[in-house]
Amino acid sequence: MTKTLLIIEDEALLGTELQRHFRRNGWRVLLTDSLDAARRELFDKGLTPIIVLSDMSLPDGNALDLLEESARDATGAEWIFLTGFGTVADSVRALRLGAYDFLEKPVELDRLDLVVNSAARSATAQRRLRDQLSAGSRRFTPDSFVGHSDAARQLREMLGRLAKAPFSALILNGETGTGKGVAARIMHHSGTRQDAPLVEVNCSALPKDLLESELFGHEAGAFTGAGGVVAACSSRPTAAPSSSTKSATCRSICRPSC
């Protein structure tokens, strides 16, 4: 798939040179010389670049304003800024708004290539994750729990209510094959946690002595052999955007005699 790069640069010579350089490297490049032209491409024509390479100060405004607008519309692009006279305030605002990098002119093309390629990998991973989350949200809805009985209808209504509830822990139990895993996925993908990862743990495969450590983590020295800090299973780094709210599903967490 061809990678799309949007360049916003009012210096005609520099913009043309950047366009030529990235086209040679296999990019589909669109060059604009103002914020208004970039807005038309992004918002009116539906352009979805994975990278936006922009000058900071343009004749019709500050490119940070466009970054803020695009963040609200969730275009999913990584932004890299080039500037000849950037201020500390601009660099802080750029990073706060989620810019990938902030480079001073003149910048060597080799260094720019490294930054752009790194940003492209980041944007691609984020888009892939967003597509997966979107697919899960479409697939796992309360209506996806099949059944025509009164009990099934009541369960679908209950799942719809539970998905919106701000619970911190919920235990689903029942016989094997009754749909506990499907119910957990429905509550995750239909609720407020849908943008965070869903972590599944097969607790029956874990020794009971390590179950608590696996679920909740431990500090160094907490028990014999604990040589370092281990994070809880629902807090370990993933490709997903960071979030303070995650869902975890556990199978066979305890025996009926618990």
Residue whose tokens read 């992004």: 42
Residue 183 falls within a domain, yes or no? yes
pLDDT digits (tens, 9 = 90+) for 28-56: 999 999 999 999 999 888 888 999 999 98
Residue 250 falls within a domain, yes or no? yes
Two structure tokens written together for 217 = 């983590």
Two structure tokens written together for 235 = 């807090």
Domain co-membership, 205 together with 190: no
Q: Please give the pLDDT value at position 241.
A: 32
Two structure tokens written together for 141 = 């809805």
Number of domains in the chain: 3
CA dihedral 182, 187, 189, 195 (to 10 degrees): -140
- 8, pLDDT greater than 90: yes
How buried is residue 79: exposed, middle or buried, by Cβ count under 10 Å (0-12/13-18/19+)?
A: buried
Domain co-membership, 23 together with 102: yes
Domain co-membership, 19 together with 128: yes
> How much is the average pLDDT of 217-241?
63
Under the phi-then-psi rule, with left for phi > 0, alpha for psi from -120 to 50, and beta for the rest, what region is 197?
Answer: beta
Q: CA angle 43-44-47, nearest 5°?
A: 65
Domain co-membership, 127 together with 165: no
Domain co-membership, 122 together with 200: no
Q: 211 lies in which domain range?
A: 196-258
Residue 46 falls within a domain, yes or no? yes
Domain co-membership, 121 together with 31: yes
Q: Report H helices in 87-216.
A: 88-96, 109-139, 150-164, 180-190, 208-216
Residue 209 falls within a domain, yes or no? yes
CATH number at residue 46: 3.40.50.2300
Residue 142 falls within a domain, yes or no? no
Q: CA angle 222-226-227, nearest 5°?
A: 120
Residue 102 falls within a domain, yes or no? yes
Last residue of a domain, one of 136, 162, 180: 136
Of 3-12, 60-69, 195-204, the poorest mean pLDDT is in 195-204
Chain centre distance of CA 163 = 21
> Are 31 and 75 a contacting pair, CB within 8 Å?
no
| Model confidence band, residue 93 (pLDDT cutoffs 50, 70, 90) | confident
Domain co-membership, 34 together with 63: yes
- 247, pLDDT greater than 60: no
Rounded percentage of the chain residues whose pLDDT exceeds 90: 25
Rounded percentage of the chain residues whose pLDDT exceeds 70: 83
Domain co-membership, 24 together with 77: yes
Domain co-membership, 112 together with 210: no
Residue 141 falls within a domain, yes or no? no
Domain co-membership, 95 together with 121: yes
Domain co-membership, 190 together with 202: no
pLDDT digits (tens, 9 = 90+) for 182-200: 888 888 877 777 777 777 7
Q: Please give the pLDDT value at position 7.
A: 95
Residue 227 falls within a domain, yes or no? yes
Q: Please give the pLDDT value at position 137.
A: 64
Amino acid present at 32: T
pLDDT digits (tens, 9 = 90+) for 130-178: 777 666 666 777 777 778 888 888 888 888 888 777 777 777 777 888 7
Domain co-membership, 123 together with 47: yes
**Higher per-residue confidence, 39 vs 220:** 39
CA distances from 83 to 4, 56, 73, 108, 142 (A): 22, 5, 25, 13, 50
Of 179-183, 213-217, 240-244, the poorest mean pLDDT is in 240-244
